[in-house]
Chain A
Amino acid sequence: MNLWLWILIACVLAYAWKLVGYLVPAKLLENPRMSRIAGTMTIGLLASLTVVNAVATGQSLVLDARIGALIAAAVALFFRAPFLVVVLAGAGTAAGLRLLGWG
């Protein structure tokens, strides 16, 4: 039940961000710093989420099959594979490495 609460708050705030651009006078938001921070924060958060999902287990850092998934995804992206192929490459590599008994 508690998780539902956070989900609904996240949904309301996500809509609030979107709506604010339409309702607040453009002059208030034209500050270039705002769009700059929105952009750098997007990069920072996604980089952080990538690393957390690759090496963090709770509070400890672990090297396991997920590192293989990270490398496989990078290779797929380098060759301009579509999103779903990249995800499948990540899953397949992690599953394969575990099948071989690592991670």
Chain B
Amino acid sequence: MRLKLLESPAVRVGLSISIATGLYGVSFGALSVTSGLDFWQTMALSLLLFSGGSQFAFIGVVGGGGSGLAAMSAATLLGMRNGIYGMQMNALLRPKGWHRFAAAQVTIDESTATSTGQSDPDEQRRGFWAAGLGIYVLWNLFTAVGALAGSSLGDPKQWGLDGAAVAAFLALLWPRLKGREPVAIAVVCALATVLAAPFVPAGVPILVAAVVAAAVGWFSHGRRDEGLEPDVDPYDGGHRHHSEATTQRDQAAGRRQEDLP
């Protein structure tokens, strides 16, 4: 049974994405404690909120001197896409009973991308759970490691941890900048942020940018899944739209390997 599971291409993709994503929980843990959250507050975000972008947003606003309300708002607005993923996963997997409540908690960029990249319904289900549960376990484990390491550092600036936060946000944004339109949205929102910063309390410029972005989404017509890319693409190459082709190729490769004696 266990062997069979490991032979599943979706499970293998799910586990490798779990390691890649789980590992950067270290940077979240370390940045969180240096932003002013304590160990258990940091763990609460990873255990309960469990959505990388929103977690970084929360500590980013707090670290920048923003209020708890602004931090919560930024994290919540960034979590809206998980609702869209939930809808996609519900249509694909149709979980019943308590499974739905468990599935909801592990519905994030990476588990959704791992699942939708598969074409066989069983593989879609296996990929979702392998990536979702795998990331959940490793993300929390590495958050704890990072939080413990972070609290033993002296002056966070001396270690460049404020630079690490900048890099982390750019790395979360980067995979979503495919084509001219997302770049234009990013530039406009960055400008709105800089223009608003001197006039409103810390944390609020981020919410101004969210309003601008929502207006762009409301009034313009473009790709329906713009911005809905995982931070770490389970199917590599960075082109989610080709992932179906990639999956079929992977599956074909998998079958070929299985055919070997």
Which residues of A pack against B, CB within 8 Å?
2-11, 13-15, 17-24, 26, 29-30, 32-61, 65-66, 68-70, 72-74, 76-77, 80, 82-84, 86-96, 98
Specify the main secondary structure of chain A where it touches its partner: helix
B25-45 vs A, CB cutoff 8 Å, 1 = contact: the mask equals: 011000000001100010011
* B41-A21 in contact (CB<8A): no
Q: Which residues of A contact B54 (CB under 8 A)?
A: 10, 14
* A10-B49 in contact (CB<8A): yes
Which residues of B pack against A, CB within 8 Å?
20-21, 23-24, 26-27, 36-37, 41, 44-45, 48-51, 53-54, 56-58, 60-65, 68-69, 71-72, 74-91, 95, 100-101, 103-105, 107, 157-174, 176-177, 182, 185-190, 192-194, 197-202, 205-206, 208-210, 212-214, 216-218, 220, 222-228, 231-232, 238
Partner of A38, one of B61, B80, B103, B165: B80
Q: Which residues of A contact B223 (CB under 8 A)?
A: 39
Q: How far is the CB of A7 from chain B (nearest CB, A)?
A: 6
Q: How far is the CB of A76 from chain B (nearest CB, A)?
A: 8
Bound-complex Cα distance A69 to B162 (A): 9
Bound-complex Cα distance A9 to B44 (A): 11
* A17-B197 in contact (CB<8A): no
* B72-A13 in contact (CB<8A): yes
Q: Which residues of A contact B23 (CB under 8 A)?
A: 83-84
